[in-house]
Structure 1
């Protein structure tokens, strides 16, 4: 682990205002009317729009992310991905509120995968809007030793059979706008030559958090009740140029939701909620 154990327990706190304009901009970007108002509850997973980590050009890595070694450990592997996470909603956060996010590195582990060495870093976030912890989140990052072997983009298939389903076109404009709204500089989402030639992807990559947000929105609309927990995990990347299906089905505790391009899911999630089916 090269001394990475010393990074476990490292913590930092930042504050941000849940501005109305940013939440409504995402709402419109995803096809809604953007009618949110100050004092409304922040929709599920919209907190990812805030707490930007703004670094000067000298503080960025070659991939466009903030360079490692500040808060995150200086893992030597060059390629990073958003692998999944778990989010618990204790109480609503209200638009217009000032929120403090405290982040702590809770785990670091090494594994070996098909692309070589992997390092997993789990960061625990606690968000407090002034009345106690509103959201507890564990966020899993994975660092890869080598770029992926070049592979073809998924072949579109007929829409999956699911009780709930919506389909979007994850085109470069949508990916750029989500990158801008979240201040995500990772080049795999907007720089096609970098994504293909440096990281080994066949096309631009659809953000993991964008897919998770689309799944949470689908579940929230269909369940019509507050979501209390959202556990999600990436299975395989999704790309621009191919329709992305957002699918779901109700369960006794809430719902199972997933995204899909071609064969098999891209991201899956389990949703827990309060209220009857």
Structure 2
């Protein structure tokens, strides 16, 4: 497939802005999804990475592609490759979001690059988000998206993940994945439509969201250190499914934590670094 990279790079610099209130009801649903409790009074600090649930694109069903993603074009460039995944990202935390805040997200296409992998062309789109509330910058985010050709899922030939000095385990069942998709208004069918995930995209089960894994790792890091990190960066390496337990691991490295997820007995799925 020929990709007109110069045409797609014409989207660099494109911006969009959206605003939504961080309500107590949203905090209640977010906390329940992650089996946590949270104080709901206005003014209390909100859970980390709850901004993923705010000011998301609300595309009508008629404008979605067969995979549940918005059809190509609009804010994101019209990449003709059919598979889109979250490849990684980074956060810098400036000031906490609080329950009751009116939260504004300003998004900018920062870069569009073409690379070639073993499976063919890989088109990377970098999006930068600035999240503001109460007239102040709350956090900045870099989001790395990757587009690729359709191909049957092939398990990575990699060694099982190492054990961290701290480990947390959970079962990412279909209810949890469905709830997180609903919270983030994410229509991507690989996260909640098991027949589609297996029969069309060739996965052995439902795919655990990259942002959800990142949220779980940030929560794990904050629990271990007792405070929110100032920076957090992560990269997706392989895939976690709802077919077995997911493990979260952490090792201290000076003032930072190195973290990673893995399917039980499987290779590293996401690797991350949190620093204070």
For the superposition of Structure 1 and Structure 2, which TM-score range results when normalised by the shorter chain? over 0.9
Is 2:132 the partner of 1:128? yes
User: Following the alignment from structure 1 to structure 2, what is the Cα–Cα distance between the partners of residues 35 and 164?
Assistant: 27
Normalised by the length of structure 2, the TM-score is 0.92
Matches within 5 A, 1:81-96: 81-96=85-100
1:29 maps to 33
Q: What SS does structure 2 have at the residue aligned with 1:8?
A: coil
Matches within 5 A, 1:125-274: 125-147=129-151, 149-151=152-154, 161-261=163-263, 262-273=265-276
Shift of 1:2: 4.6
Is 2:88 the partner of 1:77? no
Normalised by the length of structure 1, the TM-score is 0.92
Q: What SS does structure 2 have at the residue aligned with 1:7?
A: coil
Runs of 5+ unmatched residues, structure 2: none
Is 2:51 the partner of 1:43? no
Shift of 1:13: 0.8
Q: Is the 8 A contact 2:89 2:143 kept in 1?
A: yes
Q: What SS does structure 2 have at the residue aligned with 1:205?
A: coil
Shift in CA distance, 150/99, structure 1 to aligned 2, threshold 3 Å: closer
Cα deviation digits, residues 155-211 of structure 1 (max 9, x gap): xx8x95322111101111111111111111100001112112222222110000111
User: Following the alignment from structure 1 to structure 2, what is the Cα–Cα distance between the partners of residues 153 and 216?
Assistant: 25
How many residue pairs get aligned? The number is 269
User: Following the alignment from structure 2 to structure 1, what is the Cα–Cα distance between the partners of residues 155 and 90?
Assistant: 31
Shift in CA distance, 152/264, structure 1 to aligned 2, threshold 3 Å: closer
User: Following the alignment from structure 1 to structure 2, what is the Cα–Cα distance between the partners of residues 182 and 174?
Assistant: 12
Shift of 1:133: 1.4
Q: What SS does structure 2 have at the residue aligned with 1:227?
A: coil
Shift in CA distance, 200/2, structure 1 to aligned 2, threshold 3 Å: farther
Cα deviation digits, residues 197-245 of structure 1 (max 9, x gap): 2222221100001111000001001101231111000000100111100
Q: Is the 8 A contact 2:54 2:103 kept in 1?
A: no
Which range moved further: 192-201 or 82-91? Answer: 192-201
Cα-Cα RMSD:
1.8
User: Following the alignment from structure 2 to structure 1, what is the Cα–Cα distance between the partners of residues 133 and 221?
Assistant: 24
1:57 maps to 61
User: Following the alignment from structure 2 to structure 1, what is the Cα–Cα distance between the partners of residues 120 and 38?
Assistant: 44
